[in-house]
């Protein structure tokens, strides 16, 4: 029996009993584009840039967990390795003397995850202010309001793409509040966020520079760069020469980075993405100036305090706000969509949640474990080292498979069973150690409130199998794992 056609009696029976456990929740993936013929079998290699493990990574993780030696040399790379065991993932993230989030050996990158030591602590302290109980309390009413509005819109539509209608706008609105972006320009913020993630985050790749580009692409880039001149001039006015030069250097470095860059965006598209990022940086500077001139009591004022009291320069302030958009929107949107996709296929789970909303946080934890919305991060070895007996030369890249660590049988019993009452301890979903996600409490709160709004008003939800199939996130970004499209049918209570 297909779970999402389970009859009402069966649902009622299950919901009355103890927590419904879903064994192998991914056995039926035929509703996802590219998996119409089922989940692939016969895995014999792992390439993190391959589209197949991106749609359904678990067979690859199982395969990696069986490999000896357990640190896997990524084929064709020479100096890139994948770690998938919980113990190794934890060690790489914890050991900041040996590994860094800055993949460039010759230049610092001011993004938080790439910073180290004192510079990192300084920036982290400033951002932390937003995620204190006081900061989170300020955000809660916004989350409640947008969750209830978007859920009402979902029910009105009845049949729609959940990503556009619900799982994207909720975290986007919350991030808008965090960085002081006008809430009535959420569509624009969406475009900015997509551009920033796709232009900046294709992290990973050997530390070598893009090969010489064909002249057509170079011309296209030049055209876009010319178009960006007015934006740059405006940025110089707001940020000064020094800050603008730093920004352009950082952008160029990210832009030229490649070699092992995912084959997702052509250079011209990345140049266009940079244009959107520049426009966003201009908007951020306007926000910073407005709040500097007239400090208020909004969440963004907690952040800008770090610039006002001299802990962060204007440039650092701006990049931090950009980073919050990068870090906070798509990750949370993916978690929301992953949760609903599971509920849509398992009505017994949905009925069980509806019985008692106190069960929602536990359910969310298990979604975060088994469907981590960032499947991987990346580190560079600063020195020659060893992981689980494998020699890792200095400047090698280590692809840290957070999602694989979460299904390591050595850490989690029956890892491929979804148990909403498992309450998994210390998953790697939010990272580990010095760079542990600052937004974790916010993401959890958003998921809780959004799902509460859903179960309060929605009787049942199902995958719309007559619509074009669901689409997993189509480009790599930072290893996001969610949906670009999730067609659903929702039934009001
Ligand atoms: C389910 C949603 C989220 C997931 C799965 C997630 C995951 C992660 C992970 C894995 C890291 C560590 C990356 C590394 O070490 O390489 C991280 C860092 C970070 N995240 Fe999140 N995140 C989420 C939501 C958020 C939100 C909502 C915000 C803020 C609005 C946020 C802000 C940050 C920040 C500031 C860092 C950098 C911390 C540092 O470098 O010290 N995240 N996140």
Q: Ligand 1 centroid to 438 CA: how many Å? A: 6
pLDDT band at 212 (very low <50, low <70, confident <90, very high): low
**Secondary structure tally for the chain: helices H, strands E:** 18, 14
Residue 446 to residue 333: CA distance in whole angstroms: 10
pLDDT digits (tens, 9 = 90+) for 441-451: 999 999 999 99
Please measure the distance between the N-terminal and C-terminal CA atoms of the chain and give it in whole angstroms: 25
Residue 357 to residue 371: CA distance in whole angstroms: 21
Residue 204 and residue 378 in contact, taking contact as beta carbons nearer than 8 Å: yes
Does residue 439's CB lie within 6 angstroms of at least one atom of ligand 1? yes
Does residue 411's CB lie within 6 angstroms of at least one atom of ligand 1? no
**Torsion angle (degrees, nearest 10) of CA 12, 14, 18, 19:** -110
Residue 76, CB-side half-sphere exposure with 13 Å CA sphere: 9
Residue 402 has pLDDT above 50, yes or no: yes
Does residue 317's CB lie within 6 angstroms of at least one atom of ligand 1? no
Does residue 328's CB lie within 6 angstroms of at least one atom of ligand 1? yes
Residue 75 to residue 46: CA distance in whole angstroms: 8
Residue 229 has pLDDT above 60, yes or no: yes
Candidate from 439, 441, 450 with most ligand 1 atoms within 8 A of CB, to mutate: 439
Residues 6+ apart with CB under 8 A from 130: 178, 299, 302, 303, 438
- 298 vs 463 pLDDT, higher one: 463
- What's the token pair of residue 484? 């670009």
Closest ligand 1 atom to the C-alpha of 171? 27
Query: What's the Cα-to-Cα distance from 335 to each of 267, 330, 478, rounded to whole Å?
Result: 30, 9, 15
Q: Ligand 1 centroid to 75 CA: how many Å? A: 29
Candidate from 197, 327, 335, 451 with most ligand 1 atoms within 8 A of CB, to mutate: 327
pLDDT band at 210 (very low <50, low <70, confident <90, very high): very low
Does residue 112's CB lie within 6 angstroms of at least one atom of ligand 1? yes
Question: Any idea which residue has 């990750």 for tokens?
Answer: 331
Question: Any idea which residue has 């995620």 for tokens?
Answer: 131
Residue 9: what pLDDT?
55
Does residue 114's CB lie within 6 angstroms of at least one atom of ligand 1? no
72-73/487-492 β-pairing? unpaired
Does residue 135's CB lie within 6 angstroms of at least one atom of ligand 1? no
Helix, strand or coil for residue 415?
Answer: coil
Q: In this predicted structure, which of 155-169, 183-197, 219-233, 264-278 has the lowest mean pLDDT?
A: 264-278
Residue 1 has pLDDT above 60, yes or no: no
Query: 162: exposed, middle or buried (C-beta count within 10 Å: 0-12, 13-18, 19+)?
Result: buried
Alpha helices in 330-439 (DSSP H): 330-345, 347-355, 360-370, 402-405
Residue 3: what pLDDT?
39
Residues 6+ apart with CB under 8 A from 308: 292, 295
Residue 387 and residue 71 in contact, taking contact as beta carbons nearer than 8 Å: yes
| Best CA proximity match to 331, nearest among 387, 394, 273, 377 | 377
pLDDT band at 39 (very low <50, low <70, confident <90, very high): confident
pLDDT digits (tens, 9 = 90+) for 426-437: 999 999 999 999
Q: Note down the domain range covering 302.
A: 3-492
CATH of the domain at 95: 1.10.630.10
Chain Cα centroid distance, residue 450: 18
Does residue 113's CB lie within 6 angstroms of at least one atom of ligand 1? yes
Residue 239 to residue 89: CA distance in whole angstroms: 39
Query: What's the Cα-to-Cα distance from 195 to each of 123, 199, 201, 274, 277, rounded to whole Å?
Result: 24, 6, 10, 7, 7
> Domain tally for the chain?
1
| Best CA proximity match to 119, nearest among 133, 101, 136 | 101
Q: Ligand 1 centroid to 444 CA: how many Å? A: 12
Q: Ligand 1 centroid to 436 CA: how many Å? A: 7
- What's the token pair of residue 477? 């970004």
Residue 61 to residue 59: CA distance in whole angstroms: 5
Q: In this predicted structure, which of 23-27, 36-40, 58-62, 83-87 has the lowest mean pLDDT?
A: 23-27
Rg (CA), the chain: 22
């Amino acid at each position: 029996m297909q779970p999402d056609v389970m009859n009402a009696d069966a649902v009622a029976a299950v919901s009355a009993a103890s927590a419904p456990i879903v064994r192998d929740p991914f056995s039926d993936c035929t509703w996802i584009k590219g998996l119409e013929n089922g989940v692939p079998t016969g895995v014999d290699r792992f390439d993190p840039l391959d589209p197949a493990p991106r749609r359904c990574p678990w067979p690859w993780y199982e395969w990696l967990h069986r490999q000896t030696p357990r640190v896997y040399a990524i084929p064709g790379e020479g100096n890139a390795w994948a770690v998938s065991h919980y113990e190794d993932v934890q060690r790489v993230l914890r050991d900041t003397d040996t590994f860094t989030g800055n993949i460039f050996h010759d230049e610092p990158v001011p993004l938080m995850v790439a910073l180290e030591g004192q510079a990192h602590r300084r920036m982290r302290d400033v951002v932390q202010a937003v995620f204190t109980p006081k900061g989170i309390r300020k955000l809660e009413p916004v989350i409640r309001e947008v969750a209830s509005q978007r859920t009402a819109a979902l029910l009105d539509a009845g049949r729609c793409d959940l990503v556009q209608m619900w799982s994207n706008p909720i975290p986007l609105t919350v991030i808008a509040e965090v960085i002081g972006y006008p809430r009535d320009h959420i569509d624009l913020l969406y475009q900015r966020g997509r551009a920033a993630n796709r232009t900046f985050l294709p992290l990973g790749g050997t530390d070598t520079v893009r090969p010489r580009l064909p002249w057509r692409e170079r011309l296209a880039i030049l055209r876009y760069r010319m178009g960006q001149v007015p934006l740059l001039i405006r940025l110089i006015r707001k940020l000064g020469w020094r800050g603008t030069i730093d920004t352009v250097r950082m952008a160029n470095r990210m832009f030229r980075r490649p070699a092992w860059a995912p084959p997702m965006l052509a250079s011209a598209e990345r140049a266009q993405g940079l244009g959107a990022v520049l426009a966003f940086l201009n908007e951020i500077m306007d926000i910073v100036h407005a709040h500097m001139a007239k400090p208020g009591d909004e969440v963004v004022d907690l952040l800008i305090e770090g610039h006002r009291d001299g802990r962060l320069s204007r440039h650092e302030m701006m990049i931090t706000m950009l980073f919050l958009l990068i870090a906070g929107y798509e990750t949370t949107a993916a978690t929301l969509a992953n949760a609903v996709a599971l509920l849509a296929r398992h009505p017994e789970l949905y009925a069980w949640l509806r019985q008692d909303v106190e069960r929602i946080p536990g359910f969310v934890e298990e979604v975060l474990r088994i469907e981590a919305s960032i499947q991987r991060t990346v580190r560079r070895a600063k020195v020659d080292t060893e992981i689980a007996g494998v020699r890792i030369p200095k400047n090698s890249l280590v692809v840290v498979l957070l999602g694989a660590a979460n299904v390591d049988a050595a850490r989690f019993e029956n890892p491929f069973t979804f148990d909403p009452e498992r309450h998994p301890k210390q998953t790697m979903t939010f990272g580990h150690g010095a760079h542990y996600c600052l937004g974790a409490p916010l993401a959890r709160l958003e998921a809780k409130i959004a799902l509460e709004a859903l179960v309060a008003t929605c009787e049942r939800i199902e995958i719309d199998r007559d619509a074009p199939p669901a689409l997993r996130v189509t480009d790599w970004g930072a290893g996001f794992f969610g949906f670009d499209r999730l067609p659903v049918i929702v039934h009001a209570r």
